[in-house]
Amino acid sequence: YGPAVTFHIGDLHWRLRPQPGRSPERDIRLWYEKDQLSAFAWFDSPDSGDLLCHPRVERDIVEPLLLEWLECEARSRDASDFTVGAFSSDKIRAELLTARGYQKQLSFLHHLQRSLDAPLSAIAIAENYSISTTTVADLSSLAIAISGAFDSEPKPVSTYEALCSGRFYRHDLAIVVKTAKGEVVAFYLAWLDEQNRVGLLEPVGCHPDYQRLGLASAAVNAALEALRVAGAQTAVVYPAGDDSAACSLYKKCGFMPVANDYDWTIAL
């Protein structure tokens, strides 16, 4: 695992949760070499996707085939263009995309990272709020908080029930902030890659009605300490490049930029 890697194991688990209009069997293509999974492409409706190759793979052979499938899938769904990511340090991907007619965009994801080599001190939280791990009883309120934070339609509670029953979900790493009435207003789901000892925060958010109360900083620290106790040596998070508030929060919590994952787009 390194800073310029598209997917953490937590990303996979989060994105595989049941969602309307999504089908892993339809949206994902796997590449095997000698019976070993070596690469995959993931179409993210309606007009974007990702691809990831194991270091042992000859990328100049495999990535064009994965990109061709992604582009065909986008055309089959009547997309007018298609977007895929590439790290600023990835010359192989950049050369491939340029040769195929892609244009580098200004939009990108920051990859931020911080060490968890020492215990984190708890940050005091505002009166009438509390930090805890998520319970089944919180899922309905969690769905509303996520919807508010990302300005999206609330997902069914069954989506989060499935998420919580998955292999990589850990109750001790799912941190929420609640009001005195037990309403979830902020959420910090953390995921642990045990092999590489890297923790990811995803998704992270606070309902807009409860922002600027210091809840986010306190909860991020709680999530980071939970990751450290669980065995993580490093934590990562991926805010959008134009989200200055999120970047400022994470830097305040000790994260430093290590890579930028840029969008590249082609007209179909």
Please report which confidence band the pLDDT of residue 122 belongs to, taking 50, 70 and 90 as the band edges. confident
pTM score, two decimals?
Answer: 0.92
- For the segment 223-251, what is each residue's pLDDT rounded down to a tens digit? 999 999 999 999 999 999 999 999 999 99
- For the segment 44-86, what is each residue's pLDDT rounded down to a tens digit? 989 999 999 999 999 999 999 999 999 999 999 999 999 999 9
Q: Does the pLDDT value for residue 182 go beyond 90?
A: yes
* pLDDT for the residue 21: 82
Contact predicate 97/66, CB 8 Å: no
What angle (nearest 5°) sits at the alpha carbon of residue 47, between those of residues 1 and 86? 30
How many angstroms separate the Cα of 165 from the Cα of each of 157, 162, 251? Answer: 13, 5, 32
Please state, in angstroms and rounded to a whole number, the distance separating the CA atoms of residues 164 and 174.
Answer: 9
Contact predicate 262/104, CB 8 Å: yes
SS3 call for 179: strand
How many angstroms separate the Cα of 249 from the Cα of each of 10, 215, 238, 244, 255? Answer: 21, 11, 12, 9, 9
Report the percentage of the chain scoring pLDDT > 90.
Answer: 89
Q: How far is CA 175 from the centre of its chain?
A: 16
Please report which confidence band the pLDDT of residue 1 belongs to, taking 50, 70 and 90 as the band edges. low
* pLDDT for the residue 53: 94
